[in-house]
Amino acid sequence: MADRQQHQLNGERPDSASAATLLRRVQTHAPNSTQVVGFLTLLVSGAVLLLLTGITLTGAVVALVFLGPLALLTSPIWVPVAIAVSVLAAAALSACGFAVAALAAGTWMYRYFTGRHPVGADQVDYARSRIADTASHVKDYAREQYGGYLHTRSKDAAPGA
């Protein structure tokens, strides 16, 4: 009480010192203009997106209410049409895939036969040599084992040979 009377005698308001310190605290923690603009942008963007979400959901519900019975009544038509479209799409995609594979194989064979050495040519050459070696061994084995038998059978099949 004595402090109040002292401040009143001096012509000061009792809370002016505490108000000044409070004002300084608020000013030091106040956002700058960039932060205020960012917050307002966030607020406006959020409001616009919320509005668009509401319009979208409302439109979807209204469309479902009005077009649902129509879709239900015409579903005997739509189900076979959807199946036919799915089969045609699968056939078209398969044909395109096979065409791309044939084109790739043709390109690879062209490069292989023209000697441009495509990827995997070494493996093909190795497999070809292995097959040729195996065929040669089988032929030699057959001549050793059945040489006379095959020779007489070939004369029976072609007497003039």
pLDDT of residue 16: 67
pLDDT of residue 12: 52
Higher-pLDDT residue of 44 and 121 is 44
Domain ranges of the chain: 120-155
Torsion of Cα atoms, 98 then 102 then 105 then 111, to 10° = -150
Contact 13, 7 (CB under 8 A): yes
pLDDT of residue 161: 52
DSSP 30: S
CA-to-CA separations, 24 to 14, 15, 17, 42, 133, in angstroms, rounded: 18, 14, 11, 28, 98
Question: Is residue 145 very low, low, confident or very high in pLDDT (cuts 50, 70, 90)?
Answer: confident
Q: Which tokens go with 63?
A: 């469309």
pTM over 0.85? The answer is no
pLDDT digits (tens, 9 = 90+) for 61-106: 999 999 999 988 998 999 999 999 999 999 999 999 999 999 999 9
Instruction: Give CA–CA dist 107/120, Å, rounded.
Output: 13
